[in-house]
A and B are shown apart, each in its own frame.
Chain A
């Protein structure tokens, strides 16, 4: 990735992508559906990316990548095909094509960078928006929980899936490198805090990702051939989490959140952590 993307200040999408591309190397093509990343490349005839980027319609990224991967493999090329899609293009409109591509065993890496709403259109709710978060289409706070896309992916039993966060670049870098060593579909879900969308000041992007992990709201793990390994940072958080409020309070989108909703979030968080701990402990 070159300098001068047209990303917002403090954007963790571009931050994460920088490490993704570093890890993937030059023999890589990105397939990008409508999302913030379609905007930050710049305007034709310029591009801030130094790998080929194929932009495709919102719900079509995984299918497009499926065709591309097959075409490269037919030609004997090992070129990495990486979908880089937002939460809307993954959890919502793109889920059918993604499910199909995973079911067919497509040789590609699907990365969902998750800023928990439709960011480049001004923060409308998505399936990735957490309970209680205000967006332009949930002005009183979202009344439904975040869709568990990782569980949906796990149900497809891919060789490799992981979660990551833009705030932990080394962890992300390693996971991308590892994902690309597998034949077949792999998935990385990156938490990508968004200053204008989550309503915090731009310099706090990295801190926000760390607070998410430290509070247990975001858990870093890998699942390799079905075997779960929870990351060291999340292990720490599971033993000694910081208060949930430390994560919620700095974000304008949770301003004025009902204490009952916070309690539900806390319970769901605990349930998720114990579920993951149990899965990891299972023989």
Chain B
């Protein structure tokens, strides 16, 4: 059905299709609209979920964990400080192998208080064992959230999935949204180790040095197996609903000499920059990273000049995306730090990054005088 919706609303609509038994959440700007909408669906009887209005994000994730281990479907949403506050529990959720789905609306981190888009919040969750996908349109926010449940709950994965969307730029923008009836797209939740009082089991107790690392390896093995599950899920989604995604979205990359890499809405805006550059005769392309965990294969970047735009930073090291890409491609990039704290970055700026690229260097947009 043809609708218009914000990114937040799209996530809530997707959750309505997935029907989690328990939603536990705490409000935070710019995510609040998601949980408000879900609470409204629940109170209006449109969504048969239990909504637990917890007193903190730490408790939101703890409640999802407690609910999930009984073998049911759970969802929560957060942003920025909320995500960081639940950090202990995001680790627990992955370590406990619980297929919780969470939407994170990417927002910068204080001090000072700033509610605008930035990716550092979710990138600080990079190493927790959560799968992470970054979306760039309202439609994609909807589609990715639906797929997240199926991927998380797949027997070969059984890990939590985080769907990331840019604060305000996507959470509050209105775009066309095509909603679907998912039918049996997400199979019923089946957690093989759900709590069973007839077969009492201890969960997460003392674990010795001979066992703990094997459990960690098991997470990594499932993370690797998730690649196939993501591919299958996206393929089936495309077959049923007509929209195809991928680990990355590549735009004019095949014959490109220089490729811009970014995530989220900036990755979309970059495509407009590519059109501009192509008109000038510059063979440019753009690659938008969708799945950050598991990290995609970026063979396509081999032998190309790469400009990475990071809306995030790891102090003392560099742009997080740039660092990850260099580690995989074993090649230097031109690293641009832009958009932090909601800093305005336009397609014209991105085109300028490409024109003035200096491979092997890093530039902070609007700070260094170089771009």
Q: Is B361 an interface residue when CB atoms closer than 8 A count as contact?
A: no
Is B62 a contact partner of A60 (Cβ separation < 8 A)? yes
Q: Report the bound CA distance from A41 to B54 in whole Å.
A: 29
* Among A42, A51, A100, contact of B206 (Cβ-Cβ < 8 Å): A42
The 8 closest A-B pairs by CB, nearest first: A100-B55, A67-B63, A67-B66, A63-B59, A67-B67, A47-B202, A63-B62, A64-B66
Within 8 A of B (CB), among A41-82: 41-45, 47, 49-57, 59-75, 79
Choose among A56, A69, A99 the residue that contacts B55 (Cβ–Cβ < 8 A): A99
Cα A103 to Cα B208 with chains together (Å): 38
Which residues 181-201 of B sit at the A interface, judged by CB distance below 8 A?
195-197, 200-201
Chain A interface: which of B69-77, B140-148, B157-165?
B69-77
Residue in B closest to A66 when the chains form the complex, CB atoms: B63
- Whether a CB of chain A sits under 8 angstroms from the CB of B203 is yes
| Residues 10-68 of A at the B interface (beta carbon under 8 Å) | 26-29, 31, 38-39, 41-45, 47, 49-57, 59-68
Measured between C-beta atoms, what is the minimum distance from B297 to chain A in Å?
Answer: 35
Confirm or deny: A104 has a beta carbon within 8 angstroms of a beta carbon on chain B.
yes
CB distance from B24 to the nearest CB of A (A): 6
Among A26, A39, A70, the residue within 8 A (CB) of B197 is A26
Known: A43-B205, A60-B89. A50 touches B200 (CB 8 A): yes
| Residue from the list B55, B64, B195, B197 in contact with A97, Cβ < 8 A | B55
CB neighbours of A51 from chain B (8 A)? 197, 200
Q: How far, in Å, is B76 (CB) from chain A's closest CB?
A: 10
Instruction: For the complex formed, measure the closest distance between the CB of A23 and the CB atoms of chain B, giving whole angstroms.
Output: 16
Which residue of chain A lies nearest to B211 when distances are taken between CB atoms in the complex?
A: A44
Q: When chains A and B are docked, how far (Å) is the Cα of A68 from the Cα of B203? A: 14
25 cross-chain CB contacts under 8 A: A28-B197, A39-B206, A41-B205, A42-B206, A44-B206, A47-B200, A47-B201, A47-B202, A51-B200, A52-B195, A54-B66, A54-B195, A56-B65, A56-B66, A60-B58, A60-B89, A64-B63, A66-B66, A67-B22, A70-B52, A71-B68, A71-B70, A71-B72, A75-B21, A101-B59
Determine if A272 is an interface residue (Cβ-Cβ < 8 Å).
no
Please measure, in the bound complex, the distance between the C-alpha atom of A29 and the C-alpha atom of B195, giving whole angstroms: 8
Cross-chain contact B205 with A68 (CB below 8 angstroms): no
Is B56 at the interface (CB under 8 A from chain A)? Answer: yes
Given contacts A71-B70, A74-B72, A104-B52, contact A60 B202 (CB under 8 A): no
Cβ-defined contact, B22 with A70, below 8 A: yes
- Contact check, A67 vs B24: say whether CB atoms are below 8 A apart: yes
Q: Which residue of B lies closest to A29 (CB)?
A: B195
B53 contacts chain A at the CB level, 8 A cutoff: yes
Chain A nearest Cβ from B367, distance in angstroms: 39
Given A54-B69, A67-B22: A103 and B50 within 8 A (CB)? no
Roughly how many angstroms separate A115 CA and B202 CA in the complex, as a whole number? 24
Whole-angstrom distance between the Cβ of A63 and the nearest chain B Cβ:
3
Q: Are B202 and A68 in contact, CB atoms less than 8 angstroms apart?
A: no
**A99 surroundings in chain B (CB, below 8 A):** 55
A177 within 8 A of B: no
Determine if A44 and B207 form an interchain contact, defined as CB atoms under 8 angstroms apart. Answer: yes
Q: Are B206 and A38 in contact (CB under 8 A)?
A: yes
Complex interface: chain A residues within 8 A of B205 (CB): 38, 41-44, 47, 53, 55
For the complex, is B111 an interface residue (Cβ under 8 Å from A)?
no
Tell me if A54 and B204 are in contact (CB < 8 A). Answer: yes
- Docked-complex contact A55 and B204, CB < 8 angstroms: yes
Measured CA separation A60–B225 after assembly (Å): 30
Bound together, the chains give a CA A24 to CA B70 distance in angstroms of 19
CB of B88 closer than 8 Å to a CB of A: yes
8 A Cβ contacts from B201-251 to A: 201-208, 211
- B92: CB under 8 A from chain A? yes
CA distance A31 to B63 in the complex (A): 12
**A63-B59, A97-B55 known; A75+B204 contact, CB < 8 A:** no
Other than A67-B22, A73-B50, give 14 A-B pairs with Cβ distance below 8 A.
A38-B205, A42-B205, A44-B207, A44-B208, A52-B195, A52-B203, A56-B92, A60-B92, A62-B59, A63-B24, A64-B66, A67-B64, A68-B69, A74-B21
